[in-house]
Amino acid sequence: MTLNKRALALIFPIVLLGYALAGGLACYGYRTALIGLQKARLDQEVFQLKSSYADYVSLGSRLLYVVRNSNAFLLFLNETDEAYRTRALAVGIQDSLQSLDPRDDTFVSCSIFQPDGRLVFHSDNGQDPFSTAGERQRAFARAAIADEAPTRSALIVEDDGLPYLLMSSLVQARTARQPVLSQREQAVLLQIAIRPVHFQALRSALEAEYRTRIELSATPLAPNGELSAVTRLAPDLYARLTPPDSYLHGRFRRIATISVVMSLSLSLVSIGVLMVLVRRFVTGPVEELDRQVSGIMAQQRETIDLPGTGEVGRLAANVRRLHWELDQALKRTQRLYETDSVTGIGNRIYFNEMLERFFHEERTTGQPVTMLFIDLDNFKMVNDGYGHRAGDALLEAVAHALVQALSETARACDAAPGIAARFAGDEFAVLVQAGPRTAYVQDLVRSILALFQGGFSVDGVRHPVTASIGVASAPEDALTTTLLISCADHAMYHAKASGRNTAAFHGDLPTVALTGKSPRNR
């Protein structure tokens, strides 16, 4: 798994959980606020319903008061001629009603009942001259007389389905006052019926809006749930409006859907922004550092570029320093591995590596390679006569002289410098990228032989040491590295056989069959 995928796997659930929690809290807050707002609205609407009902109660009370205190009503009660009373005195009662007749065409009626419950008078502001009190109004009047309550009110629904607010009062027949207990059996009942149009319209509108019926009860009601409103319409009438659970479900589902969509959208946007920032400032520099380190391991780069400051920058700087230290240690190890401990120049391992490299360039560019195989004559005499320390000093001095001669000759011929290495024991080898007949090689051979004219001096002591040089080249004399070494070795032994302190070119030797083995092994 890549670093970006790991960052995504870490960031995604945390961000999603955070937004899910925020969305859940938002939904809960919205639900609480919505219920509170709806509860306030419900209470206000129920209060309007109560106010409308109170208006009708107030109207009924005023009508009762006006009729009961009118002279026409008093004369009506004391008139014994029922026909006259009904035809003549009833007009006065109607006039009293019309004095408080509401202007919104509210239906109002007035009824008078005898102590036995018989209806003796009925009048209303309707258009029907033959209208009379309904059966439920009569039943309410009989119940009021039987209950002997001074006043009574109720909201009923007649058989025609219309609601009526009924308000009744027992009246002493002779005085038109409320009867005392001993006189209630002779009291008549004055009853006002009002059709509460506005109240019923509000009630129907609320029931239609909330898709439920408004409960009415003569006993106190308690709220039924967190979204429920209760009011007292009258001393013995209570109303409760409780919307069904499905009333707010649509809004809750809508806000829940919006919250889920918003949470997912914000999560994706936040994750995208975070991933861009993480990739820009964290994973990107780390991946770039990994790419550069991989390039160094694949030998495609040499150093590490610092991405900037911060933790990643310090990490890159530390990795860069660590790489530099390891590179220096590797170079030191490689130098020790490829350097001859006695002479300080390249050893045979170094020589073989450079020979392979020169051969590769020869195959790709056609640049010939020439090898000078140098063997010191009479070196054993120095070791035997002066000791190995003197022999080592002589080898070191010869190596440095060879390197200097190689450098000066290359500079004089404007040619690429070759390499010099100690091949083995008292044997040295020189590699140059030039043909054997070039001035560069010819001058180099003469310069090396000149180093040993009259011997070789070390620490003021001249030793009778000379050099025998064998020269071979590729591709003229050999096509492989092994064969090139064998040819140069063969030429060197030919120089020794020719009197030493001389050079022999393999191309000038008589044609012989080489097997790849040194003449010293034959």
CA proximity to 241, closest of 274, 214, 281, 206 = 214
CA proximity to 432, closest of 469, 377, 397, 394 = 469
* pLDDT value, residue 457: 87
Q: Name the one residue in this structure whose structure tokens are 């964290």.
A: 282
Is 171 in contact with 196 (CB distance < 8 Å)?
no
Query: Is 64 in a helix, a strand, or coil?
Result: helix
* pLDDT value, residue 439: 94
CATH superfamily of 55-201: PAS domain (3.30.450.20)
Query: Could you tell me the two tokens for 489?
Result: 């070795």
Strands, E, within 227-331: which ranges?
A: 229-234, 237-241
* pLDDT value, residue 358: 94
Burial, 420: exposed, middle or buried (Cβ in 10 Å; 0-12, 13-18, 19+)? buried
Handedness of CA 442, 447, 449, 453 (dihedral sign): positive
Query: Is 122 in a helix, a strand, or coil?
Result: strand
* pLDDT value, residue 309: 66
Q: pLDDT tens track of the chain, all 522 residues? A: 676 777 778 887 888 888 788 888 888 888 888 888 988 999 999 999 999 999 999 988 888 888 888 777 777 777 777 777 666 666 776 676 666 655 567 888 888 898 888 888 888 887 777 788 889 999 999 988 888 678 888 999 998 888 999 999 888 877 767 776 666 677 888 999 999 989 999 999 999 988 899 999 989 999 988 889 999 988 888 999 999 888 778 777 888 888 888 888 888 888 888 878 887 777 777 777 778 788 878 878 777 776 666 777 777 778 878 878 888 888 888 778 888 989 999 999 999 999 999 999 999 999 999 999 999 999 998 888 888 899 999 999 999 999 999 999 999 999 988 999 999 899 999 999 999 999 999 999 999 999 998 889 888 888 999 999 999 999 999 999 999 999 999 999 999 998 888 999 999 888 654 444 444 443
Where does 69-156 have alpha helices with state H?
A: 71-78, 82-84, 90-99, 135-147
CA distance 308 to 316: 9
- Topology classification of domain 339-508: Alpha-Beta Plaits (3.30.70)
Q: What is the dihedral of CA 143, 146, 150, 153, to 10 degrees?
A: -10
CA distance 270 to 276: 10
Is 306 in contact with 317 (CB distance < 8 Å)?
yes
* pLDDT value, residue 77: 77
- According to DSSP, residue 281 is labeled I
Is 77 in contact with 171 (CB distance < 8 Å)?
yes
Query: Could you tell me the two tokens for 462?
Result: 């001249």
* pLDDT value, residue 96: 65
* pLDDT value, residue 179: 72
* pLDDT value, residue 180: 67
CA distance 151 to 143: 12
Query: Is 174 in a helix, a strand, or coil?
Result: coil
In the Cβ-directed half-sphere of 61, how many Cα atoms lie within 13 Å?
8
* pLDDT value, residue 101: 57
Is the previous residue joined to 475 through a cis bond, with omega within 30 degrees of 0? yes
What does R_g of the chain's alpha carbons equal in angstroms? Answer: 63
CA distance 109 to 250: 45
Give the residue extent of every domain in the chain: 55-201, 302-335, 339-508
Query: Could you tell me the two tokens for 42?
Result: 């419900």
Burial, 221: exposed, middle or buried (Cβ in 10 Å; 0-12, 13-18, 19+)? middle
412 DSSP β-pair partners: none
